[in-house]
């Protein structure tokens, strides 16, 4: 029988886990701040942040403290009862945003599933049962349930699972004319990431989001912002919509919301929320006291001028290093994104090789991400310090040199 102390290796992955991932060859076992150690004791600088999740680094003392305290108090009680941490966290989110109502889920997928169901339900309740069209964007990513993956803009992820939810249309991102051409009174929602993450780290233009807002108002459709990746401080504002000055009707948050503890939220207005009633939707774990307590502490730290203002200073240091590396090897055609969601597009000779750079970087002692085959992505802790950025970039540069010359 397996015990908690049994030795495990990377080879075990291929024996026991569903083959849906291709994890690196090493196994991380410990993290502190923006450093991670593997089974062999090798140390890595973390520029990946668990894919934009560990916004306060690994094992932040305040999060650990809350986890311990709440862990000794109350973990789970179900939504048959409400709980204090959930009510406190909802109040924080409402006080800091456009929202008047919040619901908690456990993943970005579930927050988006909730948002899309609510948008459809709102349209059919308030307007017409035929108002079901959802407009979304090429290369968008909204999660992996059949509904959310179908709203996402990469058909290869939704093909092969049988009939898809109907009446979902995709048009090019940042192309307002394309949206206008398909927008009509049967549209219930336009769903957009203000900064596309998985799709290649591409920020929306202000005119695009402003135009979507106007089109939605004209056609009584809801504007849904998926801020699962770009929200919770990553853009340098608490939420990216604040940077753009365009207010959505529904916003989803996850990833950094719990600083690494699974939790997500969907935010909306009283009017939109009011079409739901007890039983319309739900989740067993959603809003559990343990997740909400940790997220509450993460929120209090992230939503401060110190942390939010630090994001853009750190971005500049990232961009400076990437420009230097890019120039030396003619590696990047564009450095983009916002705040600490940094994308660097590979030049033509290196197209398709993002994973090679990612693996070489890990070998050199720095964890980075890609966003598709042509874009390197960096989504570090929002409180990563300058020494970690400098050291991680030294290691990244040496990895680049190996790939380019090897």
Ligand X SMILES: *Cc1c(COP(=O)(O)O)cnc(C)c1O
What is the set of active-site residues? 141, 226, 255
- In the complex, the smallest distance separating the C-beta of residue 312 from ligand X, rounded to whole angstroms, is 21
**Of the residues 38, 46, 113, 193, which one makes contact with ligand X according to CB under 6 A:** 193
Q: For ligand X, which stretch binds (CB under 6 A), given 33-41, 192-200, 299-307, 332-340?
A: 192-200
Q: For ligand X, which stretch binds (CB under 6 A), given 25-33, 104-112, 155-163, 308-316?
A: 104-112
Q: Does 226 bind ligand X (CB under 6 A)?
A: yes
- In the complex, the smallest distance separating the C-beta of residue 231 from ligand X, rounded to whole angstroms, is 9
Q: Does 33 bind ligand X (CB under 6 A)?
A: no
Residues 6 or more apart whose CB falls under 8 angstroms from that of 87 comprise none
Residues 6 or more apart whose CB falls under 8 angstroms from that of 317 comprise 386, 389, 390
* Contact letters for ligand X, residues 354-383 (x by CB under 6 A): ------------------------------
Nearer to ligand X, 70 or 112 (CB): 112
**Of the residues 97, 150, 229, 381, which one makes contact with ligand X according to CB under 6 A:** 229
Q: Does 201 bind ligand X (CB under 6 A)?
A: no
- Kindly report the three-state secondary structure assignment for every residue of 189-242: EEEECCEECCCCCEECCHHHHHHHHHHHHHCCCEEEEECCCCCCCCCCCCCHHH
Nearer to ligand X, 44 or 225 (CB): 225
Nearer to ligand X, 108 or 343 (CB): 108
Q: Does 109 bind ligand X (CB under 6 A)?
A: yes
**Of the residues 108, 194, 248, 259, which one makes contact with ligand X according to CB under 6 A:** 108
Q: Does 107 bind ligand X (CB under 6 A)?
A: yes
Q: Does 56 bind ligand X (CB under 6 A)?
A: no
- In the complex, the smallest distance separating the C-beta of residue 356 from ligand X, rounded to whole angstroms, is 23
Binding-site positions: 108-109, 141, 144, 226-229, 283-284
- In the complex, the smallest distance separating the C-beta of residue 173 from ligand X, rounded to whole angstroms, is 12
Laid out side by side, the sheet with 35-38 consists of: 28-32, 35-38, 43-46, 366-367
- Residue found under tokens 């690994």: 58
**Residues contacting ligand X: total by CB under 6 A:** 15
Nearer to ligand X, 190 or 228 (CB): 228
Number of H helices, E strands in the chain: 15, 17
Burial class (CB in 10 A: 0-12, 13-18, 19+), 350: buried
- In the complex, the smallest distance separating the C-beta of residue 97 from ligand X, rounded to whole angstroms, is 17
CA–CA distance, 284 with 343 (Å, rounded to integer):
36
Taking the CA atoms of 160, 162, 165 and 170 in sequence, report the sign of the dihedral they define: positive
What does residue 115 show for φ and ψ, rounded to 5 degrees?
Answer: -60, -45
CA–CA distance, 47 with 60 (Å, rounded to integer):
16
Binding-site positions for pyridoxal 5'-phosphate: 108-109, 141, 226-229, 284
Interface positions, 127-146, toward ligand X (CB under 6 A):
141-143
Contact (Cβ atoms closer than 8 angstroms) between residue 285 and residue 76: yes
Q: For ligand X, which stretch binds (CB under 6 A), given 114-122, 124-132, 224-232, 361-369?
A: 224-232
DSSP helix/strand/coil, 278? coil
Contact (Cβ atoms closer than 8 angstroms) between residue 258 and residue 106: no
Contact (Cβ atoms closer than 8 angstroms) between residue 189 and residue 116: yes
**Of the residues 222, 228, 291, 376, which one makes contact with ligand X according to CB under 6 A:** 228
- In the complex, the smallest distance separating the C-beta of residue 184 from ligand X, rounded to whole angstroms, is 26
CA–CA distance, 271 with 110 (Å, rounded to integer):
21
Q: Which residue is nearest to ligand X (CB)?
A: 108
Binding-site positions for N(2)-acetyl-L-ornithine: 144, 283
Nearer to ligand X, 240 or 360 (CB): 240
Q: Does 254 bind ligand X (CB under 6 A)?
A: yes
Contact (Cβ atoms closer than 8 angstroms) between residue 377 and residue 369: yes
Nearer to ligand X, 234 or 395 (CB): 234
Beta-bridged to residue 31, according to DSSP, are: 36
Residues 6 or more apart whose CB falls under 8 angstroms from that of 300 comprise 92
Residues that bind ligand X (CB under 6 A): 107-109, 112, 141-143, 193, 197-198, 226, 228-229, 254-255
């Amino acid at each position: 029988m397996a015990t908690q102390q049994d030795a495990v290796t990377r080879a075990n992955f291929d024996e026991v886990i569903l083959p849906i991932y291709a994890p690196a060859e090493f196994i991380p076992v410990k993290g502190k701040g923006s450093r991670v150690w593997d089974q062999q004791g090798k140390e890595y600088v973390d520029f990946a942040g668990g894919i934009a999740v560990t916004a306060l680094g690994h094992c932040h003392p305040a999060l650990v403290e809350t986890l311990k305290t709440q862990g000794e108090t109350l973990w789970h009680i179900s939504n048959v009862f409400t709980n204090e941490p959930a009510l406190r966290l909802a109040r924080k989110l409402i006080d800091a945003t456009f929202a008047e109502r919040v619901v908690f889920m456990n993943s970005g997928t579930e927050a988006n599933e909730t948002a899309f169901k609510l948008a459809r339900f709102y349209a059919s309740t308030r307007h017409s049962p035929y108002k079901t069209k959802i407009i979304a964007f090429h290369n968008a990513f909204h999660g992996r349930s059949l509904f959310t993956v179908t709203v996402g803009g990469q058909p290869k992820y939704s093909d092969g699972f049988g009939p898809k939810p109907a009446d979902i249309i995709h048009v090019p991102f940042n192309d307002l004319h394309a949206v206008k051409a398909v927008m009509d009174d049967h549209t219930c929602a336009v769903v957009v990431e203000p900064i596309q993450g998985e799709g290649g780290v591409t920020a929306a233009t202000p005119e695009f989001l402003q135009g979507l807002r106007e089109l939605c108002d004209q056609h009584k459709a809801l504007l849904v912002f998926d801020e699962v990746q770009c929200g919770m401080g990553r853009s340098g504002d608490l939420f990216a919509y604040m940077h753009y000055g365009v207010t959505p009707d529904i916003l989803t948050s996850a990833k950094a919301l719990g600083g690494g503890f699974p939790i997500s939220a969907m935010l909306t207005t009283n009017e939109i929320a009011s079409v739901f009633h007890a039983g319309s939707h739900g989740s067993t774990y959603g809003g559990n006291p343990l997740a909400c307590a940790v997220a509450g502490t993460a929120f209090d730290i992230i939503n401060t001028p110190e942390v939010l203002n630090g994001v853009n200073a750190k971005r500049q240091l990232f961009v400076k290093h990437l420009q230097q590396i890019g120039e030396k090897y003619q590696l990047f055609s564009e450095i983009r994104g916002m705040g600490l969601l940094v994308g660097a597009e590979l030049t033509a000779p290196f197209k398709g090789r993002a994973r090679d750079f990612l693996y070489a970087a890990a070998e050199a002692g720095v964890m980075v991400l890609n966003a598709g085959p042509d874009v390197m992505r960096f989504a570090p802790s929002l409180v990563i310090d300058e020494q970690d950025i400098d050291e991680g970039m030294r290691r990244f540069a040496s990895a680049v040199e190996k790939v380019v010359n090897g």
